[in-house]
Structure 1
Amino acid sequence: MNKFKRDLDEFVGESPRFKEPLKRKILSDMKKEQRPANRFADFKYAAVLMLLLTVATTFLVLNMDGNNTNPSGPAGTTDELPVLTDPDTVEEIEIFTEFTDSQEIFDFGYDGMDRGNYEYYEHPLLIDSEAYQEKEPDRGDVVIHEAEFFDGESRTVGRIVALPGETVEIVKGQIYINDRKLDTFYGQAHRRGYSTIEEYNEAMIEMNQPQNIDAMKEILSQSIESFKLGEDEVYVMGDDWFRSHQLIIKVDEIQAEVLGYYVK
């Protein structure tokens, strides 16, 4: 080591530019270069990195599974939750040519149930005021009840979509019952044969009515926060969401069941 110092002094001359502190630094750097690599430290850092990556991956997987929800459904609704169907209710309206003492003719004359073919007002309706004396209201039933109009209360027609004790939510025009999608012809927003804003706008363009484009956007994409019905309540609404009421009514406020058309 002394020889190295002497050689260094001879190389820089009698008045060296490299003072004693600089010499010590150079020697220190040389010793560091001669040290063997700390393989244990490298392994330790690699192990920590792998552990962090594993934790991050596990966190992402768990959160993806926990958030595997239907993007258009209510919070907590998973894709695997079975839909709610109504195979007993059909769109076709039954036709009657005669009636009994408990039945009467009701001339509705309003388009609140219109699905594009003048449903429930093309002909007078046959209704049964004693129907629910023998049975309970059922989902899909079309009933007579009172509703508030601009000129006061009067009888109108609506469809039962939710039953006593059920939880109802509407998300972007789709009805959910107890967090289950109501997968029926009346389970989503409707306006005279159109159930989406795209269908409605296309029809307006074909009818050369561009001023009406997007006019039904709010109706066809309507959302209503979740609410729970009482044990004596049902939720009724017309099939045409723009021209009808959406109401919670008491079961005993149902005045009659609509059986179909009355045609002489």
Structure 2
Amino acid sequence: MLLAISACSFNRDEEVMMDWHTSPKPQAIMPGNIAGKTVVRQYAYNNMENWRPYGNQKCRVFYRRDIVVDFDYGDKDMSRGDIVYHVVPGSVRGHRLSRIVAFGEERVRIKEGQLYINGKVLDTFYGRFQHKGMDLKQYIDLRKRIDRDKSEAHVMRMKKQCKVNMREIIVPQGHVFVVDDDWVNAYDSKQFGALPTEYIKGKVIGYVAGKEQKHKKNIPL
């Protein structure tokens, strides 16, 4: 993938593609309502931390929680915005969660931290750079409040990461382009390219309601 450093916004006169159906808040599922689904014990990565109550940095979503996956999920069921549980291509990293943003034969581009699909701005919460559920300005404002003068180096690194660009590619048939919600902690199609659909093992329904686990463990292969 051709990535380069080039603010994380777009021209409002550009044509847009919306997603009115996908919520940024994952579903908390009570243990008694999991029948027929599969629980994957404790997700070990923080690449999908996309929603937190304002100012509450202790709130976790998938990280260190048991996630609920529907393995009865195939190509015909896939929708833009779905979070999927998939094998990581060419890696020993095992399985990860990522979000589908584009399908076979669609054109994908990233311009200054903004995703474009078929030349249209993907105008939704997962269509642009974010870290811990915040855009660059929100995150910098928060860091300045909690860290004061200690945050300058981190803020400079965030500004650089925000302005990522990727040349336009065409997603091959039988593949999808997946992106993690937290771009800072991501390992997704921006790095390994389009994901073959056979690598997708299931759709993430949510996480098991309850307290997050304290000890980090890898999820099973």
* 2:139 partner letter: Y
| Contact 1:201–1:214 (Cα < 8 Å) also in 2 | no
Matched residue SS, 2:17:
coil
Paired residues, number: 186
Matched residue SS, 1:113:
coil
What is the alpha-carbon distance in structure 2 between the residues aligned to residue 106 and residue 85 of structure 1? 33
What is the alpha-carbon distance in structure 2 between the residues aligned to residue 202 and residue 78 of structure 1? 24
* Match in the other structure for 1:84: 17
1:140 and 2:81 aligned = yes
| Contact 1:106–1:127 (Cα < 8 Å) also in 2 | no
Q: How does 1:172-191 map to 2 (within 5 A)?
A: 172-191=112-131
* Match in the other structure for 1:46: none
Alpha-carbon deviations, 1:40-60, whole Å to 9, x = none? xxxxxxxxxxxxxxxxxxxxx
Runs of 4 or more, structure 1, over 6 Å off, are none
Deviation of the 1:191 alpha carbon: 1.0
1:203 and 2:145 aligned = no
Q: What TM-score do you get using the length of structure 1 for normalisation?
A: 0.64
* Candidates 139, 161, 171, aligned match of 2:101: 161
What is the alpha-carbon distance in structure 2 between the residues aligned to residue 200 and residue 93 of structure 1? 21
* Match in the other structure for 1:108: 43
* 1:243 partner letter: N
* Match in the other structure for 1:99: 34
* Match in the other structure for 1:128: 70
Matched residue SS, 2:141:
helix
What is the alpha-carbon distance in structure 2 between the residues aligned to residue 205 and residue 78 of structure 1? 29
What is the alpha-carbon distance in structure 1 between the residues aligned to residue 209 and residue 116 of structure 2? 36
What is the alpha-carbon distance in structure 2 between the residues aligned to residue 168 and residue 154 of structure 1? 25
* Match in the other structure for 2:205: 259
Q: What TM-score do you get using the length of structure 2 for normalisation?
A: 0.75
What is the alpha-carbon distance in structure 2 between the residues aligned to residue 115 and residue 78 of structure 1? 24
Deviation of the 1:130 alpha carbon: 1.4
What is the alpha-carbon distance in structure 1 between the residues aligned to residue 208 and residue 155 of structure 2? 37
What is the aligned-residue identity percentage? 25
Larger Rg: 1
Tell me, which stretches of 5 or more residues in structure 1 are unaligned? 1-71
What is the alpha-carbon distance in structure 2 between the residues aligned to residue 235 and residue 168 of structure 1? 8
| Aligned alpha-carbon RMSD (Å) | 2.4
Tell me, which stretches of 5 or more residues in structure 2 are unaligned? 1-8, 53-59, 211-221
What is the alpha-carbon distance in structure 2 between the residues aligned to residue 214 and residue 80 of structure 1? 29
Deviation of the 1:184 alpha carbon: 0.5
Deviation of the 1:180 alpha carbon: 0.3
| Contact 1:204–1:210 (Cα < 8 Å) also in 2 | no
Alpha-carbon deviations, 1:5-41, whole Å to 9, x = none? xxxxxxxxxxxxxxxxxxxxxxxxxxxxxxxxxxxxx
Farther off after superposition, 160-169 or 119-128: 119-128
Matched residue SS, 1:217:
helix
Alpha-carbon deviations, 1:81-117, whole Å to 9, x = none? 3x10111101121122232345333421321011253
